Amino acid sequence: MERFTSGSEFEGRIGYSRSVLCDGWIFVSGTTGYDYATMTLPEGIEAQCRNALDNVARALEAAGSGMDRVVRVTYMLPDRGEFPACWPLLRAAWGAAPPAATMIECGLMEPAMRIEIEVTARAL
């Protein structure tokens, strides 16, 4: 089993890995729209969705996989009414290999967070 970090301060403070590679599967933790290099969170659902997808892609790449290998995704939003604004970004991210998906309306760790994305993927 291998564990990977994004360098986010949340991982160390809370006690989790950004992703874990185990038996040919990659499990990516719930990932928000933070820019982990600057620890800033942009305003708006679209900017946060874009950052979250980029963060997921980097986590998969670090574990030796990619977005086209994702088989399951869970989207968590505090306001389900904002989800349609993400759809074009999600279609572009998954391309010809859209995963099984679930969207949950729930509270997130900080009020400014608009989306969190968790995925499961196959390793290469």
Domain ranges (residues) in the chain = 2-122
pTM flag (> 0.85): yes
Beta bridge partners of 122: 25
* Burial status of residue 73 (CB atoms within 10 A of its CB: 0-12, 13-18, 19 or more): buried
DSSP-derived 3-state class of residue 90: helix
- Show the low-confidence residues of the chain (pLDDT under 50): none
Reported as a single tens digit per residue, the pLDDT across 31-60 is: 999 998 888 999 999 999 999 999 999 999
Residue 105's pLDDT is what? 98
Q: Which CATH superfamily is domain 2-122 in?
A: RutC-like (3.30.1330.40)
Residue 37's pLDDT is what? 84
Residue 113's pLDDT is what? 97
Alpha-helix runs per DSSP H in 63-123: 87-94
Length of the chain in terms of residues written: 124
